[in-house]
A and B are shown apart, each in its own frame.
Chain A
Amino acid sequence: MIEFNNVSFKYEDGSEILSNLNLKIRDGEVVLLCGESGCGKSTIARLINALIPHYYKGELEGQVLVNGLDTREAQLYEIAEQVASVFQNPKTQFYNVDSTEEMVFGLENRGVPREEMKKRLEETVKKLGMEDLMNRNLFAMSGGEKQKVACACADTSNAPIIVLDEPSSNLDIYSIKELAQIIAQWKKEGKTVVVAEHRLYYMLPLADRVIYMNSGKVSLECTPEELIALGKERITQMGLRSTDIYNISVKDFTNALSVDLLTEPEFKQAGKPEKQPEKIGKQPEKPGEMGEQVGKPEEMGKQAGKPEEMGKQAGKPEKQPEEMGKQPEKPGKMGKQSEKPGEMGKLSGEDEAGSGSVLRIKNFSYTYKGEKKPTLTIDGLTLPKKSVICIVGDNGAGKSTFARTLCGIDKRADGILEYGGERLKRKGRLKKTFMVMQDVAHQLFTDEVEDELESCIDDPDEGSKERIMQLLEKLNLKDKAERHPQSLSGGEKQRVAIGSAVIAERDIIVFDEPTSGLDYRHMASVAGLVKSLKESGKTIFIITHDPELIAMCCDELVRIEDGKVVDAVKMTPDVYDRWLRSTTAQKAKKKVENEKWYAMDGTDL
């Protein structure tokens, strides 16, 4: 039982205020906290695990009771036995280098004897299907795997309450599904689960109650069904993400909603294929060829022919892998058609005719140090200029490697990019492209926003200052011109980085996961920025897992698998659906990275 009695909180810097909050969460309840960034949902999570007031300082009024313990009086380690936490960033929350060691870390701190630790670990491993994540180097794991380890840590602790603070922010769709299965398991065991989250779609089928926060207050409390009943438009207005990613119509959000996430998407899609054209509003340019790509409706019907089996899957997480294994065979059809990626590119690119309007990638390859075979090989790919190109694919498929090669970041990036009549080798690309990194903090160097932009100009002249101010105005950063870039919010940092790309006159801008952890409004503003960059003549590449972002601004979808382009087509609802289906189904092939033995000096990382 968690009780908030007249709780108000203010951080030391005066930001994010929780005002006079009263809240009760019963044992065994699964509660979804949602709302826009800064609404106070993370603060609630921190109040429950007592990091407020013990770690994050500020003014706290009122009382928070967790299973009878007053969090203000109890020690953090006492609360730790009642509340286990999973945090937003998989990269920063682990303490050990080794995954097994990490899973027992909480137990070691409590002084649990070794035998007992082994027993509990075994239970967790079996329950959550962690076998392939044992004794591994956390640094070599994907975000999804790390987050699964974090969940296992919460599980071994045997705490009756589990708090998750935006756990899906850095995850791809498949990993989110796995996360949902873990939460479902906890729910079954009768644990109290509190999830603060932007992404609603995976939580709605699990939650008993939804609490919508608005500027530090509970402004709506309802069941998931009631939330969905509010309708798409209202939910968007509230700043919430889509409740159903499988039914977003591309570049249009007027479609009806439904919530059965855990049933397989193709079941639903295939069930009503005739409905799709209405949703599209934009027909494929070459209907004949597109039709072939999409696959035959009858076959899809067959695929979805066993709804009982599908339904079962959702309930039994352990069974998933084998059944999943079957599915990649179907999307395999796509694999076949895209054996000649060059040709695929033509499909969409060459319509506009003339090489001036396209960019061509030739013989891209990237070989990592100590490896014989290249991780990435793209013989030829033609894409339209001045468009938004989304790069999708599983973790480890080579998306980031593609971005590195495109930007020519290091000597291993081989190949040629033809851009508007220019043949750009690696160094040429380095000057033509700019990457907005996932962690933007890495690319902010100076002590003032204005200087940051100025340092991007090779030969500053008198007009450059004016240009900078104009740009800052456009980016809505004018009042922040004198601030330290690192002190800005995540979105503002991102805009500064975009600004440096624009001022340096780079024609190609690559975004690496620009919307992870963003609420609806911020995600939409990124999409808006991307569109305006496109209108100003830039070519945009976006590496992303975010279905809503793709639906909002993608022109061209490139799918990468095992370092090869398997699909490069103009974005249509069919393409979107096909990608969603393949990405939720794919796991079977997920290869365990060839991890080297890792030692104390960390040199092999």
Chain B
Amino acid sequence: MKKESSRKRRFHLDPRIKVLILVMIATIEMFNLNIWVMGVIGAIPFFLYLTDHRISGAIKYSIVFGLSVLAHVFRTDMQINMVLNMVIVLLGGFVLKLFPAFATGEYILKSTSVSEMISAFSAIGLNRKMLIPLSVMFRFFPTIRREHAAIHDAAMMRGVSIGRKRFWKNPGQAFEYRIVPLMITVANIGNDLSAAALSRGLDNPARHTTYTDVKIGMTDIITLICIVMSVTAVFVISKLI
């Protein structure tokens, strides 16, 4: 859930709408499209980044995407080495095809809180068998990160980090030193967590409710209409030209 200040943000999309946008982008991109449609699809994540106040992300994204549009447009005019040309065209092609979906995905993961997403999943009728592992997974990402950082520190003190003499003596062992304590601490945290969650009625067969409310509001509908209209418009116009 967002903290209070970010909650007051004016622009806020329902997670279901965000996923719907992603589905739309990923689906449209499976077809062989002309550059105009690709361009307008590519513009969607740019605006999404802006609504999330991620200016630098938006700029970086637009540079990468813009360059591959250029590479696409001038692909036959390039007077350079054949192989290099191919690499550029190919890479550019992948960026055009895949980046809008990647960027939207990144936007979703960064702009949605776990509880919002869980509530949304619950609202679309996702089974508890999916909801519990999903929320546990999202809770464990930061745990894994933290435990790993602590183990990394410990390894530094022991002199088994990359770049130290002892590391290169036996890199396989150095790897073992990282993953084994991590597995052990994470598994132990998991045991405690299960006990705590069960003692709070996780296994209650009653229909679980959610505290976080998700609603599809005007912003969601307007955003969706805007996206559909602009993509259709560009598609139609590009066919007419």
Contact = CB atoms under 8 A, between A and B. Distances in A.
Asked if chains A and B come from one complex, the reply is yes
Interface of A: 49-51, 54-56, 75-77, 79-81, 83-85, 87, 89, 91-98, 100-101, 104-114, 117-118, 121, 134-137, 139, 153, 157, 404, 407, 409-410, 430-431, 433-435, 437, 439, 441-446, 455-456, 458, 486, 500, 595, 597-603, 605
A430 B158 CA distance: 9
Given A92-B196, A117-B211, A599-B110, A441 B184 contact: yes
B203 interface: yes
A598 B204 contact: no
Nearest to A83: B199
A108 B207 CA distance: 9
A84 B196 CA distance: 10
B158 A442 contact: no
Interface stretch (B74-82, B83-91, B136-144): B136-144
Contacts of A49: 199
A602 B138 contact: yes
A75 to B, nearest CB: 7
B209 to A, nearest CB: 5
Lowest 5 A-B CB distances belong to which pairs? A92-B192, A443-B154, A80-B201, A77-B204, A111-B206
A135 B8 CA distance: 13
Given A599-B110, A599-B113, A117 B1 contact: no
13 contacts: A56-B195, A80-B204, A92-B192, A97-B113, A97-B114, A97-B139, A98-B1, A100-B211, A105-B200, A111-B204, A435-B153, A441-B185, A602-B138
Contacts of B208: 108-109, 111
Given A75-B203, A437-B150, A437-B154, A442 B110 contact: no
A508 to B, nearest CB: 12
Contacts of A434: 157
B115 A101 contact: yes
Given A109-B202, A410-B156, A92 B150 contact: no
A487 to B, nearest CB: 10
A222 B137 CA distance: 46
A153 B202 CA distance: 14
A605 B157 contact: no
B139 to A, nearest CB: 6
Nearest to A93: B196
Given A109-B201, A443-B157, A602-B141, 14 more contacts: A54-B198, A77-B201, A77-B202, A79-B199, A80-B199, A85-B200, A95-B135, A109-B204, A110-B201, A111-B209, A153-B200, A437-B150, A455-B158, A599-B112
Interface of B: 1-4, 6-7, 108-115, 117, 135-136, 138-139, 141-143, 145-147, 150-151, 153-160, 165-166, 176-177, 180-181, 184-185, 188-189, 192-213
Given A54-B198, A456-B158, A486 B142 contact: no
B149 to A, nearest CB: 9
A159 to B, nearest CB: 10
B43 to A, nearest CB: 23
A482 B171 CA distance: 24
A368 to B, nearest CB: 13
A430 B157 contact: yes
Contacts of B135: 95-96
Nearest to B204: A77
A439 B211 contact: no
Nearest to B150: A442
Contacts of A87: 192, 195-196
Contacts of A445: 154-155, 158, 160, 176-177, 180-181
A409 B159 CA distance: 11
Contacts of B194: 55
Contact of A98 (B113, B185, B201): B113
Contacts of B185: 439, 441-442
Count chain B CB atoms within 10 A of each CB in A84, A431, A602 and give the residue with the most.
A602
B2 A135 contact: yes
**Is chain B's interface secondary structure helix, strand, loop, or mixed overall?**
helix
Given A112-B209, A136-B3, A442-B185, A435 B157 contact: yes
B114 A600 contact: yes
Nearest to A50: B199
Contact of A597 (B2, B138, B155, B211): B2
Contacts of A598: 113
Contact of B199 (A51, A97, A134): A51
Contacts of B209: 107-108, 111-114, 117
A100 B201 contact: no
Contacts of A55: 194-195, 198-199
Contacts of A114: 209-211, 213
A306 B150 CA distance: 47
Contacts of A98: 1, 113-115
Contacts of A456: 158
A605 B204 contact: no
Given A94-B196, A95-B193, A96-B135, A597 B3 contact: yes
A77 B206 CA distance: 10
A81 B201 contact: yes
A446 B197 CA distance: 32
Contacts of B165: 458
Contacts of B207: 111
A605 B150 contact: no
A410 B156 CA distance: 8
Contact of A599 (B111, B199, B213): B111
Given A139-B146, A445-B160, A600 B181 contact: no
Nearest to B178: A445
B173 to A, nearest CB: 9
Nearest to B193: A92
A456 B155 CA distance: 11
Contacts of B184: 441, 486
Given A80-B201, A443-B157, A97 B115 contact: yes
Contacts of A51: 195, 198-199
A480 to B, nearest CB: 17
Contacts of A56: 195
Contacts of B7: 135
Count chain A CB atoms within 10 A of each CB in B1, B112, B177 and give the residue with the most.
B1
B192 A442 contact: no
B129 to A, nearest CB: 15
B138 A600 contact: yes
B222 to A, nearest CB: 23
Contacts of A79: 199
Contacts of B136: 95
